[in-house]
């Protein structure tokens, strides 16, 4: 898998309440959720995000609630991948289970940079800064869930 | 192995030994969902072409977040879950009239016992570690897979051990303990790890333990868990829980870090906006005026919380600038509080008392904050916009501090009353 896109960057501890505030959780409609994605932190996000953009953040991304509405809203907004220093664990598993690509990476990336992620080659290339770093692949167990098209499909295959 | 690793190993067929980092598919004893996460899980369940649930006795659905339904959309969501539960014969479906905040309700109903694996599509599912279970929050897709196959995947975690010593002082409780710990290790201080509690746990009540485990997620932990003792066993038998299975860690050698916590040194602690790790004791801040107090939630809406709040509020009046909202966490707690006269004390003091609901805890309904307002809440999160306007502020505290603050209109230590 190979993803290339422009970076929208946030800080540490981006919590699920700012990704999608609870006042919008009375629906599970993807489009409605995406329309409010990040609004309490950055009301410009939903206006400027373009399909294929990459969200970059600091440590503990997605901390807080178990709401799968959070990765759903981010994915539906057009974000192709999230790169963070670390992820909160429920967000991490929700992203895997719902097929939103995520990568843990601690290299230099700034707002507006164009980066390329080569999942199979284990590389991340910052084209704007002309820098390159390596990323750890998912354990085979998780790769299997991803390649089977999510958790339910992989269990159906007799996993 | 750690206590958590022992429980996980017992739920993977053919595994006696597990190591941190192993990826496992484990059998689960209970799957939980609520009115927000279940509809998404039901969508996934149906989308995957699943027809039957793996065991209709091992699924619990609790309609607690936006109920009694706050608007039409919430009503539609609840309806969807209600119809699914009926169709699949899920008897542990708790609707308005018998529901409570899920993490207060399940232990009370005896649905969790020591040694169980519980997954819940709610991050505070980690609460049941207080009963010696491995329980952890997951997402809706995990819930759907759990309902269909009775299984969940885990990466076997490492653990941090906390050994308690001595006793808590008057007006200090489990909430102060966990806010103190999160203040010390940070909101990602236990990321991907277990928080295991041992030492003189006999000095902590079950309600203290439930509160301490409830907020494990606020330190990023996978789970929090107490070793089982007589206090646990007595509670489980009173609630009619299944036969407990007791596991013990092999020894302190398997822990990444060990902290000694002297309970006698812990003071009333308040977590300032907008992270639970911003823990401060009263010597570290001055006067902070507040407009609202919320006493309730899966963290501190239990009978002992209401009792201690009533002890402080008895015969006194809520400050004129404060809206005080008291929400018993379950119907049983509500009724017990009524019979003990606690509700009379609250109402006479000038509090609003509500039927069980998550309500304001997640900014749902029943006490939303306007721009610039501050609230002292016994809940567990103080993120931006958590209880309403993005420019409102939530200060997390014990029921003792919350009740004291009702009286003065400022964040107040119960010791100073
Ligand atoms: S009381 Fe608050 S933290 Fe607990 S389950 Fe409800 S919304 Fe979540």
The mean per-residue pLDDT over the stretch B359-371 comes to 97
Residues contacting ligand 1 via CB (< 6 Å): B 64-65, 101-103, 122, 124, 297-298, 358, 361-362, 379-380
Atom of ligand 1 nearest to the CA of B362: 7
In a domain, A157, yes or no: no
For a mutational test of ligand 1's pocket, the pick from B37, B104, B122, B328, i.e. the residue with the most ligand atoms closer than 8 A to its C-beta, is B122
Q: What is the B164 CA–ligand 1 centroid distance (Å)?
A: 27
Confidence of residue A23 (pLDDT cuts 50, 70, 90): very high
Contact A159 B364 (CB under 8 A): no
The distance between the two most distant Cα atoms of chain B, rounded to a whole number of Å, is 63
Residue A156: C-alpha distances to residues A32, A99, A146, B52, B151 (Å):
30, 16, 13, 13, 12
Mean pLDDT calculated for residue range A14-28: 94
DSSP string across B70-130: -SHHHHHHHHHHHHHHHHTT-S-EE-TTT-B-HHHHHHHTT---TT-EEEESSGGGGGGGG
Structure confidence by residue, pLDDT tens digits, B175-204:
999 999 999 999 999 999 999 999 999 999
Residue B241: beta bridge partners? none
Q: Which residue intervals of chain B bear CATH 3.30.499.10? A: 3-263, 270-416
Q: Which CATH number fits the domain that encloses residue A62?
A: 3.20.19.10
Examine residue A155 and state whether it is found in any structural domain, yes or no.
no
Q: What does each C-alpha distance from B103 to B99, B263, B408 come to in angstroms? A: 11, 25, 31
pLDDT beyond 80 at A158: no
pLDDT given for residue B84 in this prediction = 98
Q: Is the pLDDT of residue A159 over 70?
A: no
Q: Is residue A36 part of a domain?
A: yes
Model confidence band, residue B93 (pLDDT cutoffs 50, 70, 90): very high
pLDDT band, very low/low/confident/very high, at A99 (cuts 50, 70, 90): confident
Radius of gyration (C-alpha) of chain B in whole angstroms: 20
User: Among residues of chain B, what percentage have pLDDT more than 70?
Assistant: 100
Across B90-99, average pLDDT:
97
pLDDT in tens, A56-85: 999 999 999 999 999 999 999 999 999 999
Arithmetic mean of pLDDT, A94-102: 90
Q: What is the number of other CB atoms lying within 10 angstroms of the CB of residue A121? A: 13
Work out how many domains chain A is built from and give that number.
1
Nearest atom in ligand 1 to B329's CA: 1
Residue A67: which of B357, B123, B31, B67 has the closest Cα? B123
Average pLDDT over residues A95-121: 94
**How confident is the model over B222-250, as a mean pLDDT?**
98
CATH homologous superfamily of domain B3-263? Answer: Aconitase, domain 3 (3.30.499.10)
Residue B34 has pLDDT above 90, yes or no: yes
Contact call for residues B119 and B143 (beta carbons, < 8 A): yes
Residue B234 has pLDDT above 70, yes or no: yes
Q: B336: which residues sit within 8 A by CB, 6+ positions away?
A: B303
Q: Which atom of ligand 1 is nearest to the CA of B296?
A: 1
Residue A132 has pLDDT above 80, yes or no: yes
Write the pLDDT tens digit of every residue in B9-24.
999 998 889 999 999 9
Taking residues B236-240, what's their average pLDDT? Answer: 98
Greater confidence (B343 vs A2) lies with B343
Nearest chain B Cα to A90, which residue?
B138
Tell me whether residue B120 is exposed, middle or buried, using C-beta atoms within 10 angstroms of its C-beta: 0 to 12, 13 to 18, 19 or more. Answer: buried
In a domain, A105, yes or no: yes
What is the CATH topology of the domain spanning B270-416?
Aconitase; domain 3 (3.30.499)
B225 is written with which tokens?
């868990």
pLDDT digits (tens, 9 = 90+) for B387-400: 999 999 999 999 99
Domain contains A159: no
Q: Which residue has the higher pLDDT, A138 or B100?
A: B100
Of B120, B138, B217, the CB nearest to A93: B138
Please give the average per-residue pLDDT across B72-77, as a whole number: 97
* Residue span of the structural domain in which A11 resides: 2-150
pLDDT of residue A3: 95
What is the reported pLDDT for B54? 97
pLDDT at B347: 98
CA A91/CA B129 separation, integer angstroms: 21
Yes or no, beta carbons of A27 and B384 under 8 Å apart: no
Examine the pLDDT at A149 and tell me if it is beyond 80: no
Mean pLDDT to the nearest integer, A8-23:
96
pLDDT in tens, B321-333: 999 999 999 999 9
Strands, sheet with B30-34, edge to edge from the N-terminal-most edge strand: B93-94, B59-62, B30-34, B117-120, B134-137
For B145-163, the pLDDT digits (tens) are 999 999 999 999 999 999 9
Distance from CA of B322 to the nearest CA of A (A): 23
What is the pLDDT at residue B280?
98
Q: What is the average pLDDT across A77-106?
A: 95
The DSSP-derived string for B240-251 is TPPPP-----S-
Of the partner residues B66, B125, B139, the one whose CB lies closest to the CB of residue A94: B139
Give the pLDDT band (50/70/90) at residue A143.
confident
Is A111 part of any domain? yes
What's the gap in Å between B92 CA and the centre of ligand 1?
19
Check A18 against B384: CB less than 8 A apart: yes
Alpha helices by DSSP H, listed for chain A, are 16-19, 30-34, 45-48, 69-77, 89-98, 140-147, 151-156
To which residue do tokens 């699924």 refer?
A: B59
Whole-number Å distance, alpha carbon B379 to ligand 1 midpoint, is 8
Determine, yes or no, domain membership for A107: yes
Query: Whole-angstrom Cα distance, residue B389 to residue B199?
Result: 42
Label residue A150 by pLDDT band (50, 70, 90): confident
Of A64, A61, A59, A142, the residue nearest A99 (C-alpha): A142
Nearest-CB residue to A60 (from B37, B139, B187):
B187
Q: Please report which helix (H) or strand (E) contains residue B306, including its range.
A: helix B303-313
Does residue A23 lie within any of the structural domains? yes
> Quick one: what percent of chain A has pLDDT higher than 70?
99
CA-based nearest residue to A145, from B20, B125, B145: B145
């Amino acid at each position: 898998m190979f993803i290339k896109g422009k970076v929208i960057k946030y800080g540490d501890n981006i919590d699920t309440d700012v990704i999608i505030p609870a006042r919008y959780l009375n629906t599970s409609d993807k489009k409605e959720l995406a329309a409010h994605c990040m609004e309490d932190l950055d009301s410009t996000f939903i206006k400027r995000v373009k399909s294929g953009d990459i969200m970059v953040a600091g440590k503990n991304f997605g901390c807080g609630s178990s709401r799968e509405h959070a990765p759903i809203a981010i994915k539906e907004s057009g974000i192709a991948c999230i790169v963070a220093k670390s992820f909160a664990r429920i967000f991490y598993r929700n992203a895997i289970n719902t097929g939103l690509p995520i990568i843990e990476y601690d290299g230099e990336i700034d707002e507006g940079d164009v980066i390329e992620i080569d999942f199979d080659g284990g590389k991340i290339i910052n084209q704007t800064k002309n820098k390159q770093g390596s990323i750890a692949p998912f354990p085979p167990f998780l790769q299997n869930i991803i390649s089977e098209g999510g958790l339910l499909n992989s269990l159906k295959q007799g996993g | 192995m750690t206590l958590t690793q022992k429980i996980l190993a017992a739920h993977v067929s053919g595994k006696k030994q597990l190591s941190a980092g192993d990826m496992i598919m484990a059998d689960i004893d209970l799957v939980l969902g609520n009115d927000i996460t279940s509809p998404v899980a039901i969508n996934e369940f149906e989308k995957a072409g699943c027809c039957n649930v793996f065991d209709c006795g091992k699924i619990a659905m609790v309609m607690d977040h936006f109920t009694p339904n706050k608007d039409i959309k919430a009503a539609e969501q609840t309806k969807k879950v209600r119809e699914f539960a009926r169709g699949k014969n899920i008897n542990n479906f708790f609707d308005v009239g018998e529901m409570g905040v899920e993490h207060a309700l399940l232990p009370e109903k005896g649905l969790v016992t020591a040694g169980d694996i519980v997954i819940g599509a709610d991050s505070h599912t980690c609460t049941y570690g207080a009963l010696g279970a491995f329980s952890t929050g997951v997402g809706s897709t995990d819930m759907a897979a759990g309902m269909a196959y009775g299984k969940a995947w885990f990466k076997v975690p490492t653990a941090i051990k906390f050994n308690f010593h001595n006793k808590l002082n008057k007006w200090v409780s489990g909430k102060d303990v966990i806010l103190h710990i999160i203040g010390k290790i940070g909101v990602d201080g236990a990321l991907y790890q277990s928080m295991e509690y041992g030492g003189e746990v006999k000095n902590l009540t079950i309600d203290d333990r439930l509160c301490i485990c409830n907020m494990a997620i606020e330190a990023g932990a996978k789970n929090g868990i107490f070793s089982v003792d007589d206090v646990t066993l007595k509670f489980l038998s009173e609630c009619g829980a299944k036969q407990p299975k007791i596991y013990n860690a092999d020894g302190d050698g398997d822990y990444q870090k060990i902290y000694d916590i002297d309970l006698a040194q812990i003071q009333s602690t308040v977590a300032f906006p907008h992270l639970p790790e911003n823990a401060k004791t009263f010597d570290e801040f001055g006067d902070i005026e507040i407009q609202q107090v919320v006493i309730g939630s899966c963290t501190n809406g239990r009978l002992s919380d209401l009792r201690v709040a009533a002890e402080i509020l008895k015969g006194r009046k809520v400050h004129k600038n404060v809206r005080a909202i008291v929400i018993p966490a379950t119907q049983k707690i509500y009724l017990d509080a009524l019979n003990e006269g606690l509700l009379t004390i609250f109402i006479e003091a000038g509090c609003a008392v509500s039927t069980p609901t998550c309500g304001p805890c997640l900014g749902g309904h029943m006490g939303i904050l306007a721009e610039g307002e501050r609230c002292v809440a016994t809940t567990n999160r103080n993120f931006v916009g958590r209880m309403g306007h993005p420019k409102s502020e939530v200060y997390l505290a014990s029921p003792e501090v919350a009740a004291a603050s009702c009286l003065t209109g400022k964040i107040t230590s119960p010791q100073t009353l």
